[in-house]
Amino acid sequence: MSTVTSNIESVLQEERHFPPPAEFAQRAHIKSMAELETLRAEAAADPESFWARMAEELHWFKRWDTVLKWDPPHAEWFGGGRINISYNCLDRHLATWRRNKAALIWEGEPGETRTFTYQQLHTEVCKFANVLKHANVKRGDRVALYMPLIPELAIAMLACARIGATHSVVFGGFSSSALVDRINDASCKLVVTADGGWRRGNEVKLKTAVDEALKECPSVNACIVVRRTGSPQHMQEGRDFWWHELMETVDANCPAEELDSEHPLYILYTSGTTGKPKGILHTTAGYLLQAHLTTKWVFDIKDEDLYWCTADIGWVTGHSYVVYGPLSNGASVLMYEGAPNFPEPDRFWTMIERHRVNIFYTAPTAIRAFIKWGDQWPSKHDLSSLRLLGTVGEPINPEAWMWYRKVIGKERCPIVDTWWQTETGAIAITPIPGATTTTPGSATLPFPGIDADVMTRDGKPVGANQGGYLVIKRPWPSMLRTIWGDDERYKQQYWSQIEGIYFAGDGARRDNDGYFWIMGRIDDVINVSGHRLGTAEIESALVSHGAVAEAAVVARPDDLKGSSIVAFVTLEGSHNPSDGLNQELRAHVVKEIGALARPDDIRFTDALPKTRSGKIMRRLLREIATSGTVAGDVTTLEDFSVLEKLRAEEE
């Protein structure tokens, strides 16, 4: 079935290929490459008819009039249609045998579990939707969700979607100042939070961060708090309300609103090349269609499966593949609140064994951590329930892919390496597990209907095995619609680098088989542990500290995290470098953005290398941070002595 060569480390041209196991393919939704190629050809010949045919799988209050109106770079999908994503994820299953099927099986970090059938989840969502209505949340209003990974987060999202409120989930690891920026950018009316959540045995105090944030958020007039940890809270009279108390005041009757296909479903902030995070806007019908269809085909979801995506709902992966995609398919979803190494490094494997998980989707950074912790942890457990593995978030190195296949998948489970972004809304380049022959490190081929390619900066195609820019040449249903409040930036950032073509910001090449190999970000965005961080955002956090004059942040390759963050800092005249200041600056970044952005290394320097036009040459700093020296072209450097000093400081 498979060919495995021995030299895992040094393969430049990857030679290992793994066709889908026959028994997997036989039972899969898509059973062969021929079937997949037929779908691809259908979608390429007439994308609109293809997506329209697929859209029949959804529940519509009113069918669409037009499939696509494309006024570059603005797309309207399924114009004239009326639909509700909460209805598609819940109500439509209630008329079937799935009514009493487990929708969510949740496990808290301390070990307790809660299960919601589709009927029970529907009841909770309807009740919370009524709570929102009583709090005067109307169609189109924005609601911020700053919560741990608990069922109430999914309930709150589905409740917003039910009444047409637009949710903005802010990852619970962000600090209160990051929360302030995001609440204010979208003028959120209400915040839903919890007293705290559990992470590696410690309480993450969310409500305290919200209290701090709300001093600077004039648009917010109410805050609803889930009691999760039970720690004592200050509740501000007239502003703060307990979730469980409000839920007692409402009934469970709340019909889903009939919304336009393009109704704004959510905003999710992601890092860009400038300091300000971008509010990526997704709308309803097209997003649901692609989240639904990719979940079905890529994860080959079946009714009897238990599916587990380990992502936090605070990231797009959690939106599309913990909540909307799987629930729309009527799947059973496992959710876990806490850390993978609590209380021991085998937490995930104990959960797979106990719950008999069938489909497991995680990030390369987690896989690298598992490798480091050692094979003894997964080896202690019965992982035979697994039938499919997935990865997302960053390029996976072939050694990690092989380890995943061998130690977790026991050489039995196909692996789907899925490439996509907050902006694409759903998976765009991916194997289809019953059809595609996989090869470690490649996301393989575009999903049917996704016209991905690799091009030069000026829009020319590149040949096989030549590097270039990853682009998508035609609109797709789950694409972002704009950047909230900044349509100009939307046009500039994504559609103007090559006129009328979507620019993903990743480098890539295609091999002789047309397989895509993603080479990582080409802009000043770094990918740490699968999370995108803007270097500019970290730099502005550093500069906001009184001692810092200027800062430049670069990525250094890191075995575990993919990249680690190195900050070069020049100080204001009255300050001197010290260990104390180093610690203080690191803590300052944590306060401004969150622990995920904490620099691993701060280097004090007298000056930063700049071009004559004054741009910091991060490329040189990257080389210095990585190899300690500079081999690349330095002809545009303004002051050569800066480089000499940086090199000397390195030694």
Nearest to 623, CA basis, from 532, 613, 612, 637: 637
Q: For residues 246 and 367, which CB has a smaller minimum distance to ligand PRX in the complex?
A: 367
362: contact with ligand PRX by CB under 6 A: no
Q: Is the peptide bond before 343 cis (omega within 30 degrees of 0)?
A: yes
Cα–Cα distance for residue pair 580/119, rounded to 1 Å: 56
Interface with ligand PRX by CB under 6 A: which range of 124-132, 140-148, 255-263, 501-509? 501-509
366: contact with ligand PRX by CB under 6 A: no
CB of residue 575 vs ligand PRX: minimum separation in angstroms? 35
Cα–Cα distance for residue pair 498/491, rounded to 1 Å: 11
Q: For residues 451 and 638, which CB has a smaller minimum distance to ligand PRX in the complex?
A: 451
CB of residue 393 vs ligand PRX: minimum separation in angstroms? 5
Q: Which pair of tokens denotes residue 504?
A: 């993903």
* Number of residues counted as binding ligand PRX (CB under 6 A): 22
CB of residue 232 vs ligand PRX: minimum separation in angstroms? 35
Cα–Cα distance for residue pair 577/584, rounded to 1 Å: 11
Residues in region 311-340 near ligand PRX by CB under 6 A: 316-317
Interface with ligand PRX by CB under 6 A: which range of 22-30, 502-510, 557-565, 572-580? 502-510
CA quadruple 13, 530, 371, 318: dihedral, nearest 10: -120
- The burial of 635, by beta-carbon neighbours within 10 Å (0-12 exposed, 13-18 middle, 19 or more buried), is given as exposed
Residues in region 23-42 near ligand PRX by CB under 6 A: none
Among 420, 469, 490, 515, the residue binding ligand PRX under the rule CB under 6 A is 420
Sketch the per residue contact string, 50 through 89, with ligand PRX: x for CB under 6 A, - otherwise. Answer: ----------------------------------------
393: contact with ligand PRX by CB under 6 A: yes
Cα–Cα distance for residue pair 425/417, rounded to 1 Å: 16
The three-point CA angle 617-522-504 to 5° equals 145
Determine the residue with CB nearest ligand PRX. 422
Among 91, 107, 300, 394, the residue binding ligand PRX under the rule CB under 6 A is 394
Q: For residues 84 and 270, which CB has a smaller minimum distance to ligand PRX in the complex?
A: 270
Contact 404, 391 (CB under 8 A): yes
421: contact with ligand PRX by CB under 6 A: yes
Cα–Cα distance for residue pair 414/491, rounded to 1 Å: 38
Cα–Cα distance for residue pair 200/146, rounded to 1 Å: 19
Residues in region 514-553 near ligand PRX by CB under 6 A: 518, 520-521, 527, 532
CB of residue 461 vs ligand PRX: minimum separation in angstroms? 21
270: contact with ligand PRX by CB under 6 A: yes
CA 459 to chain centre: 28
Residue with tokens 């009493």: 100
Nearest to 39, CA basis, from 508, 446, 622: 446
- The burial of 282, by beta-carbon neighbours within 10 Å (0-12 exposed, 13-18 middle, 19 or more buried), is given as buried
Interface with ligand PRX by CB under 6 A: which range of 192-200, 205-213, 218-226, 393-401? 393-401
CB of residue 322 vs ligand PRX: minimum separation in angstroms? 12
CB of residue 318 vs ligand PRX: minimum separation in angstroms? 9
- The burial of 447, by beta-carbon neighbours within 10 Å (0-12 exposed, 13-18 middle, 19 or more buried), is given as buried
DSSP tag of 319: I
174: contact with ligand PRX by CB under 6 A: no
Q: How many residues does the chain have?
A: 651
CB of residue 185 vs ligand PRX: minimum separation in angstroms? 17
444: contact with ligand PRX by CB under 6 A: no
What is the binding site for ligand PRX (CB under 6 A)? 270, 316-317, 392-395, 417-422, 443, 504-506, 518, 520-521, 527, 532
